[in-house]
Amino acid sequence: MIELTEKTLDPEKITAKVRRDTNGAVVTFLGTTRDNFEGKTVLTLEYEAFDEMALKKLEEVRQELMAEFGLEQIAISHRIGTVGIGEISLVIAVGSPHRKEAFDACHAAVDRIKEVVPIWKKEVYQDGSRWVACEDHEFSPADQHSSESHTH
């Protein structure tokens, strides 16, 4: 239910993993690559991961959220490598008996992934590039580890 891949993500396939006849709701989130940053045109994005740790942290996030929201089906796939503009970089699919838990768990999953999973994206411009969110702001994932902080 966890995947890091250089291949194009197929949201229907990933969503199918969480479909059950006992579920009344499925929420699928797609993260897609944007073509601009502060007025600059982004040509392409490069995603890099610390693979072993990223897979481990994705699975931890998945397990934490399933426990927190009482769910049994969450699938997460993250693209790495070069990703063109407008393509899908992240798919999170949550299956649940009821819609509220599906929406809430999916929202929390995106937030947690952006906080703790060692994946980095670089925006490539005509005249240079930039590691996103990397310009030296304070960052302390170890302090954000309690499950109560998922609303951040």
Residues that bind other proteins (CB under 8 A): 31, 47-50, 52-54, 56, 78, 89-90, 110, 113-122, 131-134, 136-142, 145
Least gap, CB of 21 to other proteins (angstroms) = 31
Least gap, CB of 40 to other proteins (angstroms) = 16
Which residue lies nearer to other proteins by CB, 23 or 74? 74
Beta-bridged to residue 18, according to DSSP, are: none
CA–CA separation, 62 and 109 (whole Å): 7
What single-letter DSSP state applies at residue 8?
A: P
Which residue lies nearer to other proteins by CB, 40 or 145? 145
114 half-sphere exposure, CB direction, 13 A CA radius? 18
Which residue lies nearer to other proteins by CB, 13 or 114? 114
